[in-house]
Amino acid sequence: MTETPVRVGIVGCSSMGRSHAEALAAVDGADLVGCADHTAETARSFGETYGCPSYTDHAALLADADLDAVCVCTPNGAHRDIVVDAAADGIDVLCEKPLEITPDRVDDMVAACRDAGVTLACILQRRLFPTMQFAREVVRDGRLGRLVFADVRVKWHRDPSYYDESSWHGSADLDGGVLFTQALHGIDLLQWVAGDVSRVAGTGDALYHDIDAPDTAALSLRFEDGALGQVSATTATRPQQAISLEFNGTEGTLRVTETGVELFEVNGEQQPAELPEPRPDGPHVAQIRDFVAAVSEGRPPMVSPAEARKGLDIVFAAEASDSRGEW
């Protein structure tokens, strides 16, 4: 383990890049030493705000800033090249979710980092929410009996301006649609709690917004232990609702949102919900702190590529199912 601060750069200086910069400022042992964005004014403003050199080309940042690690905060479909280039330079990578929006591009990223011997981690910080950790413990400990159903609902609303005023939201090649940009956190949590998925059928469409990617999707799942599941995802309905997960077993039911336990009943009796303490500075900071520690200590990060792919592969399988007309 080294006590030298980890020198970190950020590629993608819009809202997500700023979230990473704020989180890094709260992490001991991390120094933000450079940023890059293809829009010069965005990069310049970011650099001035956070006191670091700015670049308009990620390759220049990787070459000039003497980085130990880089946070990739660009649109979903623009992750691959940055990650592959960083790996070639021996730089560890923390990538925003999703890793990418096609299986081949994900494979390229994972192979490049593996072959170069660098860390690749993915942001899936909602695994650290107390309600989700509680749900995983309850289900995995068998307190609901044998699991029969596991469902997640991501029913959000996005005004048309969310898509109209963005250069990439809703695009097929950079966004990928509701399953990648909005629902992936919920899908990841569903499989993280209920277990691996063996079969997927799904369909999606743009039912409200004038965009190239789906704003609404429905998936049916079979888990490896035999349980069945459903995913409902949209940005087209009102009102916006909290992500909700429900787990139904032969002995009881648990329904949780990101902020609370709505139902926990076993054998006809309500059960107390003893949640773990929340992370004092939030789950996003906590996961970035874990990544910095993993780089310093030479250990695996909280969310490895294999873990990040579990939810993503459900999305890829749903897309393949839809393309074959199997819904």
CATH number at residue 204: 3.30.360.10
Assess if residue 271 is contained within a domain: no
Assess if residue 266 is contained within a domain: no
Q: Say whether both 114 and 156 belong to one domain.
A: no
How does strand 252-257 pair with strand 197-205? unpaired
Q: Say whether both 226 and 257 belong to one domain.
A: yes
pLDDT at residue 169 tops 60:
yes
Q: Say whether both 39 and 91 belong to one domain.
A: yes
- Confidence (pLDDT) at 3: 75
pLDDT at residue 32 tops 80:
yes
Q: Say whether both 138 and 107 belong to one domain.
A: no
Where residue 1 falls among pLDDT bands split at 50, 70, 90? Answer: very low
CB neighbour list of residue 135: distance below 8 Å, 6 or more residues apart: 189, 193, 245, 247, 254, 256
DSSP letter at 316?
Answer: H
Q: How many domains does the chain have?
A: 2
pLDDT at residue 10 tops 60:
yes
72: CATH? 3.40.50.720
* 248-306 pLDDT per residue, tens: 999 999 999 999 999 999 999 999 999 999 999 999 999 999 999 999 999 999 999 99
Q: Say whether both 118 and 147 belong to one domain.
A: no
CB neighbour list of residue 119: distance below 8 Å, 6 or more residues apart: 69, 92, 93, 113, 291, 294, 295, 300, 301
Q: Please indicate, yes or no, whether the overall pTM of this predicted structure exceeds 0.95.
A: yes
Assess if residue 47 is contained within a domain: yes
Q: What is the mean pLDDT of the chain?
A: 97
Q: Say whether both 171 and 120 belong to one domain.
A: no
- Confidence (pLDDT) at 327: 80
Q: Say whether both 201 and 243 belong to one domain.
A: yes
| Contact between residue 243 and residue 153 where contact means Cβ atoms under 8 Å apart | yes
Q: Say whether both 111 and 151 belong to one domain.
A: no
Q: Identify the three-state secondary structure at position 205.
A: strand
Assess if residue 67 is contained within a domain: yes
Q: Say whether both 139 and 94 belong to one domain.
A: no
Assess if residue 269 is contained within a domain: no
CA distance 253 to 248: 5
Section 154-178 average pLDDT: 96
Please, where are the H alpha helices in the chain?
15-25, 40-50, 58-64, 80-88, 103-116, 130-140, 160-164, 178-181, 184-194, 283-297, 305-323
Assess if residue 183 is contained within a domain: yes
Section 60-82 average pLDDT: 98
Q: Say whether both 87 and 151 belong to one domain.
A: no
Q: Say whether both 132 and 210 belong to one domain.
A: yes
Domain range for residue 193?
Answer: 126-261+312-323
Assess if residue 238 is contained within a domain: yes
Q: Say whether both 15 and 32 belong to one domain.
A: yes
* 126-159 pLDDT per residue, tens: 999 999 999 999 999 999 999 999 999 999 999 9
CB neighbour list of residue 295: distance below 8 Å, 6 or more residues apart: 6, 68, 69, 92, 119
Assess if residue 176 is contained within a domain: yes
